[in-house]
Structures are given as structure tokens and as C-alpha cells.
């Protein structure tokens, strides 16, 4: 988000090509405030909205995987 890339927005992924590996370490909702940007997952106003946005990130990342690509998510 800081660099202008919004992983919840499918348009951000256009033209990136395919990837064999995508690694994610999303925020845990409100545990740490990373920025004041309302697009940041950590700033979602409700838990339901956080999950809606997180699903969009997963969907968008899965959409740029190659046929044998792997999506890894670190949740601690």
C-alpha cells in the first residue's frame, strides 16, 4: 500500500505475468497499525471487512500463479 500497490484490488495485478511462488504474511487485523491508509488490511473497520479484504488478496494472488504455482501464507 505504501508504494501504491493495493493487493485487494485486482487491477493492481494486471500485467504482472505469472508467478511460480507467492508468499504472504498479512497483518493480523488490528494487532499492529502499519499506516493510516484505509486500504491497509490492519485498518479494516470490522473483522468481517478484514476477512472480506483478505479473501480478495488471496484471490488476486492465486490469480497470478502459474499452473504449478504455490501460494504460501504465514500466519503466526
pLDDT tens figures, 22-69: 999 988 888 878 788 888 999 999 999 999 999 999 999 999 999 999
Report yes or no: 61 and 72 within 8 Å, Cβ to Cβ. no
- pTM of the prediction? 0.87
pLDDT value, residue 4? 80
Task: Dihedral sign for Cα 36, 42, 46, 51, please.
Answer: positive
d(C-alpha 44, C-alpha 38), whole Å: 7
Nearest Cα residue to 8 out of 28, 45, 38 = 38
Segment holding 67, helix H or strand E: strand 65-73
Amino acid at each position: 500500500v505504501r508504494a501504491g500497490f493495493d493487493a485487494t484490488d485486482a487491477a493492481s495485478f494486471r500485467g504482472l505475468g505469472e508467478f511460480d511462488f507467492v508468499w504472504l504474511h498479512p497483518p493480523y487485523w488490528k494487532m499492529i497499525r502499519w499506516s493510516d491508509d484505509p486500504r491497509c488490511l490492519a485498518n479494516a473497520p470490522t473483522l468481517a471487512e478484514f476477512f472480506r479484504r483478505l479473501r480478495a488478496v488471496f484471490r488476486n494472488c492465486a490469480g497470478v500463479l502459474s499452473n504449478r504455482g504455490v501460494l504460501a501464507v504465514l500466519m503466526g
